[in-house]
């Protein structure tokens, strides 16, 4: 059976190693499988749920496309587009916000984390973000959605919205119920400065993350400065429990090498960090430097990036406008 896959990345700048290992690397693999139809969306409507500089946002939309392509996503085989151009997303999100219940949304933990202490000042968009995400997925009849742990709860909400809509309007299976695709053997990539916080675009310190646009020298510097602890590397995985930084660096190494954490622990058991960091740097440079060089090259060819987005828009709009028109008819709009 063909899998219909939908996923998105926010064009909020500084795409990093966490985005690559947690999402983009998997997008490439799924996109190259001939059994899958993949749609990869630059979710700019989601990006403005927190304040963005308009000029930077335009630049970041292009840079996200460049990152997709530089990482190996084929823009001919897969649909790459930006969300704001396909108006069906905003239309469907409104209909679904009238289906979703306040109680469902108030349980979303990501809103609580992102809004922080001052919830009163968070945008309404940040609160209703998961409803827009449901629209993104349900408009394309996506059967599978690659998600990290942090997005599992939002996908659950998409499933609840689809089920309630189908029930409320007596539409058996009109909205397809999407399944999560969770990467096995994968843990979230954490900040290089604090192993208890996730690696993130919005973290002020650039030393906390490896950007996909970093050159070799920055990668070397950031890994050399990455926080560690005074002990040698442990002999088994259980000993990593209270050693967040060691666990994070070994997880990065494992994920880049597509091996288990157990194997990496065995490989470096008893070694000190400086020895391990040298090997890690090499693996990172081998992986990230070609991507970074390609992003730079693509960013100087704006016309090509815009063509990718035009082509993606045509294909995505064709699918989404049909679905949203049917959705509007079902609701009774005329
Ligand atoms: N640290 C991470 N480890 C593993 N996966 C990660 N992702 C993000 N950070 C990590 C995954 O990348 C995909 C795209 O994420 P996004 O850009 O849409 O938004 P995000 O999760 O909010 O990313 P950031 O970096 O934390 O951005 P800011 O700082 O702007 O909030 C998702 O699949 C995500 O799981």
Residue nearest to atom 23 of ligand 1 (CA): 200
Question: What's the whole-number mean pLDDT along residues 149-153?
Answer: 85
Q: What's residue 99's pLDDT?
A: 98
For residues 112 and 81, is the Cβ–Cβ distance under 8 A? no
Residue 28 predicted with pLDDT over 90 = yes
Residue 184 predicted with pLDDT over 80 = no
Return the residue matching tokens 């996200």. 64
Give CA–CA dist 127/256, Å, rounded: 34
Nearest atom in ligand 1 to 19's CA: 12
Residue 51 banded pLDDT, cuts 50, 70, 90: very high
Q: What's residue 185's pLDDT?
A: 72
Residue 159 banded pLDDT, cuts 50, 70, 90: very high
Domain boundaries, the chain: 3-187+302-331, 206-297
Determine the straight-line distance between the first and last CA of the chain, rounded to whole angstroms: 36
Return the residue matching tokens 């070694």. 271
Residue 45 predicted with pLDDT over 90 = yes
Nearest atom in ligand 1 to 190's CA: 1
Active site residues: 114, 198, 201
Q: What's residue 1's pLDDT?
A: 84
Residue nearest to atom 8 of ligand 1 (CA): 19
Share of the chain above pLDDT 90, in %: 91
pLDDT digits (tens, 9 = 90+) for 266-307: 999 999 999 999 999 999 999 999 999 999 999 999 999 999
Q: What's residue 26's pLDDT?
A: 94
Q: In the structure, which protein residues have their CB atom closer than 6 angstroms to any atom of ligand 1?
A: 9-10, 12, 18-19, 22-23, 148, 150-151, 188-189, 198-202
pLDDT digits (tens, 9 = 90+) for 206-242: 999 999 999 999 999 999 999 999 999 999 999 999 9
Residue nearest to atom 25 of ligand 1 (CA): 200
The size of the chain, in residues, is 334
Residue 14 banded pLDDT, cuts 50, 70, 90: confident
Q: Look up the pTM and report it.
A: 0.95
Q: What's residue 187's pLDDT?
A: 76
CATH of domain 3-187+302-331: 3.40.50.620
Q: What's residue 292's pLDDT?
A: 98
Residue 59 predicted with pLDDT over 90 = yes
Nearest atom in ligand 1 to 12's CA: 30
pLDDT digits (tens, 9 = 90+) for 94-146: 999 999 999 999 999 999 988 888 889 999 999 999 999 999 999 999 999 99
Q: What's residue 148's pLDDT?
A: 80
Give CA–CA dist 145/107, Å, rounded: 21
Q: Probe ligand 1: pick from 148, 187, 212, max atoms within 8 Å of CB?
A: 148
**Class at the top of the CATH hierarchy for domain 206-297:** mainly alpha
**Separation of CA 19 and ligand 1 centre (Å):** 5
Residue 150 banded pLDDT, cuts 50, 70, 90: confident
Secondary structure in 3-state letters for the chain: CCEEEEEEECCCCCCEHHHHHHHHHHHHHHHCCCCEEEEEEECHHHHCCCCCCHHHHHHHHHHHHHHHHHHCCCCCCCEEEEHHHCCHHHHHHHHHHCCCCHHHHHCCHHHHHHHCCCHHHCCHHHHHHHHHHHHHHHCCCCCEEECCHHHHHHHHHHHHHHHHHHHHCCCCCCCCCCEEECCCCCCCCECCCCCCCECCCCCCCHHHCCECCCCHHHHHHHHHHCCCCCCCCCCCHHHHCCCHHHHHHHHHHHHHHCCCHHHHHHHHCCCCHHHHHHHHHHHHHHHHHHHHHHHHHHHCCHHHHHHHHHHHHHHHHHHHHHHHHHHHHHHCCC
Residue nearest to atom 7 of ligand 1 (CA): 19
Mean pLDDT of the chain: 96
Q: What's residue 158's pLDDT?
A: 98
Nearest atom in ligand 1 to 43's CA: 18
**Separation of CA 236 and ligand 1 centre (Å):** 29
Q: What's residue 126's pLDDT?
A: 96
Residue 186 banded pLDDT, cuts 50, 70, 90: confident
């Amino acid at each position: 059976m063909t899998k219909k896959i939908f996923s998105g990345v926010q064009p909020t700048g500084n795409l990093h190693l966490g985005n690559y290992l947690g999402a983009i690397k998997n997008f490439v693999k799924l996109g190259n499988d001939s059994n899958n139809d993949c749609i990869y969306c630059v979710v700019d409507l989601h990006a403005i749920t927190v304040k963005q500089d308009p000029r930077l946002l335009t630049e970041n939309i292009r840079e996200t496309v460049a990152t997709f392509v530089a990482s190996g996503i084929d823009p001919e085989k897969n649909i790459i587009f930006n969300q704001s151009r396909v108006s069906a997303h905003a239309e469907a999100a409104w209909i679904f916000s009238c289906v979703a219940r306040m109680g469902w949304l108030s349980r979303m933990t990501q809103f609580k984390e992102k809004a922080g202490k001052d919830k009163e000042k968070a945008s309404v968009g940040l609160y209703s973000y998961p409803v827009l995400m449901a629209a993104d997925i349900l408009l394309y009849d996506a059967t599978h959605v690659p998600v990290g742990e942090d997005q599992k709860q939002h996908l659950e909400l998409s499933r609840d919205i689809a089920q309630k809509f189908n029930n409320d309007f007596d539409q058996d299976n009109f909205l397809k119920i999407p399944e999560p695709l969770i990467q096995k053997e994968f843990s979230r990539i954490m900040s290089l400065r604090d192993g208890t916080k996730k690696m993130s675009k919005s973290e002020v310190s650039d030393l906390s993350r490896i950007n996909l646009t970093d050159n070799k020298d920055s990668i070397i510097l950031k890994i050399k400065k990455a926080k560690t602890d005074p002990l040698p590397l442990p002999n088994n995985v259980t000993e990593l429990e209270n050693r967040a930084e060691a666990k994070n660096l070994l997880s990065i190494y494992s994920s880049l090498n597509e091996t288990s954490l157990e194997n990496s622990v065995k490989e470096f058991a008893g070694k000190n960090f400086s020895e391990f960091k040298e090997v890690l740097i090499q693996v990172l440079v081998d992986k990230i430097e070609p991507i970074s060089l390609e992003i730079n090259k693509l960013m100087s060819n704006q016309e090509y990036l815009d063509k990718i987005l035009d082509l993606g828009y045509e294909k995505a709009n064709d699918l989404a406008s049909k679905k949203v028109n049917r959705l509007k008819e079902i609701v009774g709009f005329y």
